[in-house]
Chains A and B, each alone.
Chain A
């Protein structure tokens, strides 16, 4: 169950097409404006690759079902989800997001999770938000080494210094001494 897929994992073609079509629906407008749809889908595939195999298979099957089931939805007029115009694509996703059928709702949430994770991991999006954690890390890391070098070195030395566990008898005597 916990087996990962390799780094080169790709979603099945249909599932991938559905994800591409859902980027403008599920992600904020920046996804289209910044032209990062392909990056987001590749990121989502990387996430899926690290999931337990059962989740990965469920995601692929769920997306295929989502795609095909649209054809039976009257407003789609026989089109699959990945071929719907933007307005109907948004409406079809809303049907699943609000569905009383738990698996439909869960799939909509899973898709939203992996695409929104990807979106807010995109460097261009983070830059727009003013979210700059790596700069912060680099700054405080440097400062720590400047200010606390001696204490760090002392601790590093202690990590490899001999410090055997005492024999139980010696430990009991020491504890008894401490207790007075």
Chain B
């Protein structure tokens, strides 16, 4: 058997015009543009496309490599190594440590997310308006932007014939319990149900930024530089004037130095790296809130084993969401996980692991998302790298146990025979009676296996400069021509998948720039 390594050789002839890679950059190269966007995910790519269409000369800097749809396969670990920051091994410190995951490739986390596309709930927008003094963010104000993002990303319900057995069982359990379950809205064009979302969509059906906003930005003249890490934002006094960057070489080391001169700089590298980029560039928010208000939507998963063959890899990822408990702050979904990734997290090894994994075809993996009630923070270390800290609250830990119990109830109702829990030392459940006992136990937080793919809120926007890092359009307070356009802007967690909210806010920010063109271009 040979390890996959062919992707690199094949990749070179798939880079479209307008995308430049490390091979195209010379040391001490200086580039010029109107707008430099750092990051190419849900926020950065949307800003780049909108501004390029409006006639701005846009350069996007992306630390990750460029891959195309044809590069994406079912080799999960190869994809993780190529597409995820830190090979997926990134942790927020706390008890328990929370493993978080971010994309690091052209298209950012949209390349590896599940493709869920939900508008920000209205009560959240109302709260932002009321408590964070954000004018023009209520549902009616945001309609234009949500509608535009949904059009661009082809947000639809899934074709029914692509729903796999794992999702059907989740729905069956919810229906039998009489719980509210909804079809997921997803950014997809006739998604084929390949269930490879988290490792790059191999059919091109999922409308990640890679296949939607990026081609659009390129069409309107934007330039994308991959393999280019932004070191710091250049500034003259309080005015941002560009970005100092270095090429990431094939051995992972930093190579050629590149300077991008710009009239406006947009930081869109996610809620972990945006605050670090601002901090190491010397921008200090007068509010003291830069890097604070980190929320994560903590997730837990359970593994239910059925008598029947489920073959969870056949059918769409997360066709449904169980929303019965949304007002209590949690959602459920079925989330198939490849065997290698699943085996990593199971609490056994050797032949015991082998016996368990022999039932992989009968497994349904279901997850729960919790709208968190506390916030953490991102600290910028002396070398300039970010380190997130997040302490799960007692309230949220209780929600995770309660939610897990409810999810197990649902899965037993659907016919599960055994359920493995995300709580070390608690053992497995074999009947609904065990579920009741689970809720009576006190489970230490240190034994909870918590992960997340939703990282938000470390450069929050707001109308009050004493409490917010940016103004309502993402412009950094106490700085000039410096904008944020990613999930860092969220004043609070939103309780649903954040990608559409990120793109809508980024579009809104771009709209502000377009309408105030002279302010930014002169």
Q: Are B194 and A136 in contact (CB under 8 A)?
A: yes
- Known contacts: A51-B89, A126-B339, A136-B313. The answer to whether A165 contacts B511 by CB under 8 A is yes
Say whether, besides A151-B190, A167-B515, A5 and B202 are in contact (CB < 8 Å): no
Which bracket fits the contact residues of A? 35 or more
Say whether chain A's binding surface is mostly helix, strand, loop, or mixed: helix
A113–B87 Cα distance when bound, in Å, is: 13
In the complex with contacts A47-B77, A47-B87, A55-B86, A168-B511 CB distance below 8 A: yes
User: Are A52's CB and B515's CB within 8 A?
Assistant: no
Q: Give the distance in Å from the alpha carbon of A136 to the alpha carbon of B341 in the complex.
A: 19
> In the complex, which residues 17-55 of chain B have their Cβ closer than 8 Å to any Cβ of chain A?
50, 53-54
> What's the Cα separation between A162 and B144 when bound, in Å?
16
Given A137-B196, A137-B202, do A175 and B143 touch, yes or no (CB 8 Å)?
A: yes
Residue B395 at the A interface, CB < 8 A?
Answer: no
* B54 engages A165 (CB within 8 Å): yes
A137 contact set on B, CB distance < 8 A:
73-74, 194, 196, 202-203
Interface 0/1 of B356-386, CB less than 8 Å to A: 0110110000000000000000000101010
Which residues of chain B are within 8 angstroms of A51 by Cβ–Cβ distance?
86-87, 89
Residue pair A129, B196 in contact (C-beta under 8 Å): no
Q: B250 contacts which chain A residues (CB < 8 A)? A: 6-7
Q: Is the CB of A129 within 8 A of B3?
A: no
Q: Does B160 contact A (CB under 8 A)?
A: no
Contact, CB under 8 Å: B203 / A119: no
Count of chain A to chain B residue pairs whose CB atoms are closer than 8 Å in the complex: 193
- Of all chain A residues, the one with the shortest Cβ separation from B51 is A165
Q: Is A143 an interface residue (CB 8 A)?
A: yes
Q: Does A101 contact B (CB under 8 A)?
A: no
Inter-chain contacts of A113 with B (CB < 8 A)? 344-345
Nearest residue (CB) in A for B88 is A50
A179 to B383, CA, bound (A): 53
In the bound complex, CA of A137 to CA of B69 (Å): 13
Q: Digitize A8-42: 1 where CB-to-B-CB distance is under 8 Å, 0 elsewhere.
A: 10000000000000000111111000001001001
Cβ A5 vs Cβ B251 within 8 A: yes
A49 within 8 A of B: yes
| Chain B hits for A164, CB < 8 A | 53-54
- What 7 A-B pairs have minimum CB-CB distances, sorted nearest first? A28-B354, A50-B87, A6-B251, A4-B252, A133-B74, A140-B192, A120-B340
Q: How far, in Å, is A17 (CB) from chain B's closest CB?
A: 19
Task: Note all chain B residues with C-beta closer than 8 A to A42.
Answer: 3
Q: How far is the CA of A7 from the CA of B353 in the complex (A)?
A: 29
A65 CB–B CB distance under 8 Å: no
The answer, yes or no, to whether B430 is at the interface (CB within 8 Å) is no
Q: Are B349 and A119 in contact (CB under 8 A)?
A: no
Q: Is B216 in contact with A3, judged by CB distance below 8 angstroms?
A: no
- B415 contacts partner chain A, Cβ-Cβ < 8 Å: no
Are B87 and A133 within 8 A (Cβ)?
no
